[in-house]
Structure 1
Amino acid sequence: MTYQGIEKGSDGNSVTIPNPSDSGSGEALAAPFPEPTPISTNPSRNAGVRLGDRLFGGAATGSGVLVIAIIAAIAIFLMWRAVPALRRNEENFFLYGGNWITTDTSAMHFGILDLLQVTVFVSVFALILAMPVALGIAIYLTNYAHKRVKGPLAYMVDLLAAVPSIIYGVWGLYILAPAIKPVAVWLNENLSWLFLFSTGNASVAGGGTIFTAGIVLAVMILPIITAVTREVFVQTPRGQIEAALALGATRWEVVRTTVLPFGMSGYISGAMLGLGRALGETIALLIILRGTQSAFGWSLFDGGFTFASKIASAASEFNDQYKAGAYIAAGLVLFILTFVVNSLARAAVSGKDRSAS
C-alpha cells in the first residue's frame, strides 16, 4: 500500500493519508483468525488420574490376575499329584472302563472311560429335561405372571438352589424313585427296542438308575438356568415390545419376535452354567446311582459312577499318595471337561452377540 502524503492535523501532529488508488474494490483486508486449540475429550489428558481411580483399577486388575493364578495353581497341583499314579497304571487311562484296582500300588489298573460316559450322559439328560421347563418359567414370570404372583413364584424357584445336595439324594431315592417306578417299568417293557430304554446293568424297580438321577439333577440345575434366563428376558428393550404390540402382535408373538431373539444368548449361557453344575454334582448322585461291575451301555436304566461320585466314594483310600493320585487324575479330567464346557458356552454366547450386532 502507498501513501499520498503527510499532512499536519489541527493539533500539530502529522497524519499519514493513504493513496485512494490503492483502495481497489473496497474490500477490507484483515488478518486471518488463529485456529482454535482442540479440546480433548479424554479426561485423563485434562486432569491427572485420581488416587481412587488408580486404586480401583489396580484392585480390578489384581482380582482378574488372582483368578487366573488360582485356576493355574489348581491345574498344576492336580497334574503334580496325578503323574506318579499314572506312571504306575498298567491300563490305558482314557480307554480302560473296567473295575479300578489300586490295592497294589506298583501295578495299578484304572481308567476314565465309563466315568466319562456316565458323567456326560446323566448331565446331558438332566439338561434336556431342565431347559424347556426353565424357559417356560422365565417366559411366564417376565411376560404373563401378575405382579402379585411373580415375586413369590420367582422366590420359590430360586429357593430350590438352597436345598442341600444330600436332601435331593435322599428325596430322589426314597420318594421320587418309587413314584416314577411305573413310568420306568412301562418304558423298559414297551420301548426296550430303543437303546435308551433297554434293560441296563441296574434294577429298574430299584430306582438307582440314570433315569432317576437325571430327573433329580434336572431339578437341581433348574434354578440356575431359570434365574439367568429371567434376568436376561427382563432386559428386553421396552421400545421393541411396545412397537410389536402397536403393530397388533399377540402376547406370544411379542415373546417370539422380541424377547426370545434378544435373550437367547442369556438362555444358552444359563444352560451351560447348569451343565457345569451337573457335571460336578457329587452327593446326590452318590446316593442315587448304584455302582455296578458291568460296563456302561448307554441306557437310562444303567447305574455306575460319575467322576465326582467315584472320587467321593473312595475317600478312605486317600491316605496313600498313589491311590489318591489315581482319583486325582480323574479329577483333573473333570476339571478340564468343565473348563472346556464353559469355554464353549462363552464362545457360543460371543458368536451369538456378534451375529446379532
Structure 2
Amino acid sequence: MSTRLQQLHDEQGQSPWLDNLKRGWITSGELERWVERGVRGITSNPSIFQKAIESSDAYDVQYRELIESGASVESSYWDLVTDDIRRALAILRPVYDASDGVDGFVSVEVDPGLARDTAATIEAARHLHTTIAQPNLYVKIPGTAEGLPAIRQMIAEGRNINVTLLFSVDRYAEVIEAYLSGLEACDGDLSRVSSVASFFVSRVDTETDRRLEAIGSPEALALRGKVAVANAKLAYERFVAAFSGPRWEALAARGARPQRPLWASTSTKNPAYSDVLYVDELIGPGTVNTMPDQTLEAFLDHGTVRRTIDEDLAGAHATMATLAEVGVDLADVARTLEDEGVAAFSKSFEELIATLEGKARTFTR
C-alpha cells in the first residue's frame, strides 16, 4: 500500500521533499528510509546545518582532521556541508534518474551574508556547482532584489537554482522573469536546466496574524490563519499564467522545464491551527512541498490527499482585498519577512562559525 507522500506525487502531481539534513540520517540509513516512504528531494539551509553540527558529535572526527591539517574554520565548515550534500545527492540520484531530472534534488545555500551582493552571490553559486558537480544539485540563492540578476546569470549558464526566501507574489513574478530571461540567454541544453521558486508560507501567517491582532477589529481577526494560504494560491495562479502562452511555448520547444513553485516554511507555527494546514491546503500539480520531518510524519499519519491549490481562487483574492481594507500592507509584510529571513540565516551561519572556532581551540590545546 502506498503512503500519503507517494500518493501526493502519483495522484496529485506534487513532489514531497524533506526540509532537513544531518549526517546521522545519512550514516544510519534514515535518509534512505524517507526516500522509500515517498520523499523526492531534500532542502537545507544555514539554520539546519547549525542544528545538525552543534547537536551532534558526528562531525567531530572529520572537523578535527581538517583543522589539524591547517584548514581554516570557515573552509572546514564548507567541507563538512559539502560532504553531507554529496552523500545525500548519491542517495537521491536514483529518484533523479527515474524522474528524468524532475525530482531527486538536494539544495545547499550560498553564504547568507551575500544576500545583498549580486557579484559575490554569482561567484559563490558557481563555486558550489563546480565543487560539487552533480546534476541533481540545487544551489539556493535568496530572492532578494540583489539576488535576481544572480539567478538570471546562473540560469543563463545552465546551472540549477533553488530561489529561496520568497514572500510576495510581486517578487515571485520578478523571479519568474529572471528564470525565463535566463533560459532565453542560455545556449545549452535547456532540458537539463532546472529551478524551483521557494515560497515561504507559515511565516506570512505569523506576521500578518500579529498585525491583525494589533488592529483587533472583527474583520481583521477573521483573517487570522488565512492569509498565507491565500498568498500561495495567488502565487500558483501566477505560475500557471507565466508558464503558458507564446513566450513559454518557444522555450518549451527547446526543452525547457517550468520553474516549479516550492512551498517552504510549511510547519505550523500556531498550535491553534492544524499541523498539516500548509500541506493539505496547497496540493496541486507541478508543485513541491518541502516539509520538516515532524510535518512529514504528521501528513503521513493524517494528511488529506486532495487537489486544493486552485480551489476558491476568488476567495483568495477576496482575502487579500479584505487584508488591505483592514489596514495590513502585504508588501510591507513581505519586506519585513525577507529582512528577518536574511538576518536569521546570517545569524545561524555566524553562530555556527563561532561555535566551530571554539571547538577548534580545544583541538590545539
TM-score range, shorter chain: under 0.3
More strand by share: 2
How does the TM-score come out when normalised to structure 1?
0.20
How does the TM-score come out when normalised to structure 2?
0.19
More helix by share: 1
Higher CA-based Rg: 1
